[in-house]
Amino acid sequence: MLELIKSCDRGHADHGWLESFHSFSFADYHDPARMGFGALRVINEDRIAPGTGFGMHGHRDMEIISYVLSGELAHKDSLGNGERGGASAGVIRPGDVQRMSAGTGVMHSEFNHARDQATHFLQIWIQPDRRGLPPSYEQRHFDAASKRGRLCLVAARDGADGAVALHADARLYAGLFDGAERAELDLAGGRIAYVHLVRGVLTVNGQALSAGDALQIRQTPRLALAAGQDAEVLVFDLAA
């Protein structure tokens, strides 16, 4: 069973320095029918104006993934990332996947230091299996070749197959498709999937998607992705 969610049906907020589209209820956007899907709680498509960003603020008990589409995002947190001598420089660029496990609590900021380019990125929240985990941070780069014409695993429980590690029963794939390129993904019994088309056009099991569209998928053993035109897609394999 496939349920199409059109890009135009997402929540929208324009704060001047930040324009955001909400796939699920978030902040002032509330739709009781759109509170999440499985453990997937948030997909925000954000554009941050040059020289602006999110000041230091706190999270807890959430797996937070940032996926940059264009521009750069400077991350700084209370774990020392983004600080001189910290564990990570904290700058996220296209192709990078950043995972922050908020756990018992973490403070962080996200900033676009560019003078003339907006930062376009996706902020994704996934509910963890357990509350009260130690906060942690991880960042990895997945080049275009690793995603070209295939679904590349970029986030998964325990960092399977070189993905960033999630503390959740979820697997996140990213893919780039154009022309005759196609891919399939088998879903184990009892699993659900969420497909979010980042850009371009693509068909999934025959359903045509345009940029910003999504599919909620239940009781479907296999996904078939084809007929892409400059398409970039994220696919979430989730526990029901």
**Residue 202 half-sphere exposure, CB side, CA atoms within 13 Å?**
31
Expressed as residue numbers, the domain containing 179 is: 2-239
With 0-12 CB in 10 A as exposed, 13-18 as middle and 19+ as buried, what is 63?
buried
Q: Please state the domain count of the chain.
A: 1
Residues 217, 223: Cα–Cα separation, whole Å:
9
Tell me the C-alpha to C-alpha distance, in Å, between residue 76 and each of 83, 129, 135, 155, 179: 7, 25, 14, 21, 39
C-alpha triplet 106, 107, 111: angle, nearest 5°: 135
Query: What was the pLDDT predicted at 88?
Result: 58
Question: pLDDT tens-digit profile of 164-189?
Answer: 999 999 999 999 999 999 999 999 99
Checking if the pLDDT of 137 tops 80, the result is yes
Query: What was the pLDDT predicted at 145?
Result: 97
Q: Which two tokens stand for residue 33?
A: 């029918």
Query: What was the pLDDT predicted at 87?
Result: 55
Predicted model pTM: 0.95
Query: What was the pLDDT predicted at 160?
Result: 85
Query: What was the pLDDT predicted at 85?
Result: 56
CATH of the domain at 174: 2.60.120.10
Model confidence band, residue 82 (pLDDT cutoffs 50, 70, 90): confident
Question: pLDDT tens-digit profile of 25-53?
Answer: 999 999 999 999 999 999 999 999 999 99
